[in-house]
Structure 1
Amino acid sequence: MSRLVEATTAEPANPEPVFLDFSSVQVATASYLRESVLAFRDLVRGRRSTFYPVIANANDDVRDELKELMRLRGDVLMVCTLGPAGDVNMARLIGDLDPKQRMTFDLVHEHGETDAGELMRAYGESEGLKHTTAWNNRLAALAARGLLMEVSQGRAKRYRPLFEDA
């Protein structure tokens, strides 16, 4: 955990994923994952960092442990496989989002980049919403979990996917 924090003290100018490469990890217990990966994710996202932690190259055993941990916590984490050239493959969520957050996550992927106002104009009526607050809350919650990137444009915030194919 301390090495992760040390490595991410200098913030990038633009939002970017930080890959936690598990390619050499054979087994990871729930307590290890909770005290390292999730603690790091919560710390980084809690300080509203431009880093977005992603588990990369985890084997089946580690992914199974993550699935169970996410289920017990009611949490969600982004995982992927990194190719030899650093290309992202098979990006996906481990854990379940509630239906409204899942819909919002999917809509951001569909739009590529959006904000609460755009979602309100396009889907507010069909969702029975009269104000952007619900969209703002959903988008902020997804960004807090590190599932969407938050991009500040003056006082406004826009959101985009970490990976196009997630």
Structure 2
Amino acid sequence: MRISLMQVSDNPVLAGAVNGKIAFAEMIKSIPDEVVGPQPLFLDFGGIAVATASYLRESVFTLKAYLRAKSSSYYPAVANANSDVWDELSVIAHAKNDVIVTCELTDEGITSNVELVGNLDPKQRLTFELVLKFDEVDANSLMEQFGESEKTKSTTAWNNRLASLASRGIIREYTKGRSKYYRPLLTERAYGN
């Protein structure tokens, strides 16, 4: 699913906390209620010249927190942000100690230049890299393969790491039977730091 910020705001300059809150409300209205499998929700910044940190905090990051708090099937990713918008996203991500996935997105829905904006601690970074490497993981498989090298004695540590990354919205969580599995939000392998 894709939400165009240009259509939400009708202005190439996105500024101010109040306008960000209005955009958040408009984005919520456009997200369908039907249950779908875990998938990216592309927030398309194509055509946007400027987005201030206060706008992004009240729209993008509030939307991400809202969707993760309600365990939505949608995981926000910022698409087609220019370098100025990207810099403002980075300011908010670091200030909030948060992280968000960014990419370029074609009209056909093809992603490229997938990156994380923000920081992960070393254990989260390792776990994130393992999710990218294997494309689909669960805590048991990570414990079996990396428990000894990571000095973990049970699957609880891996469960916590994976759940934390999913709650931050950078990997997708889904169930198969009684087990939880995790996949990358976007499938391109070249994630930056």
Q: Which amino acid aligns with 1:3?
A: E
Whole-Å separation in 2 of the counterparts to 1:85 and 1:125: 43
Taking the aligned partners of 2:35 and 2:132, their CA distance within structure 1 comes to 23
- 1:84-95 to 2 correspondence within 5 Å? 84-95=107-118
Matched, 1:26 2:49: yes
Whether contact under 8 Å (2:40, 2:186) holds in the other structure is no
CA distance in 1, matches of 2:108, 2:120: 31
Letter in 2 for 1:10: D
* Higher relative contact order structure (alpha carbons within 8 Å, sequence separation ≥ 6): 1
The alpha-carbon deviation at position 94 of structure 1 amounts to 0.5
The TM-score with structure 1 as length reference comes to 0.96
Separation in 2 of the partners of 1:30 and 1:155?
41
Q: In 2, Cα distance between the equivalents of 1:17 and 1:85?
A: 15
State which of 134, 137, 145 in structure 2 corresponds to 1:122. 145
1:51 aligns to 2:74 (yes or no): yes
Identity of counterpart residues, as a percentage? 48
Q: Secondary structure at the residue paired with 2:103? A: strand
Partner Cα distance (2:53, 2:47) in 1: 17
In structure 2, what is the Cα distance between the partners aligned to 1:138 and 1:84? 34
Change (3 A) 1:11 1:105: farther
* Rounded Cα–Cα distance in structure 2 between residues aligned with 1:60 and 1:8: 27
Structure 1 residue 155 displacement after superposition: 2.2
C-alpha distance in 2 between matches for 1:36 and 1:151? 26
Shift of 1:26: 1.1
- Structure 1 stretches of 4+ with a deviation exceeding 6 A read none
Offset of residue 81 of structure 1: 0.4
Q: Displacement of 1:86 after TM fit? A: 1.7
Stretches of structure 1 that go unaligned for 5 or more consecutive residues are none
Amino acid at match of 1:143: A
Deviations 1:88-124 (Å, cap 9, x if unpaired)? Answer: 1111101110000000000011111010010000000
8 Å contact kept, 1:12–1:51: no
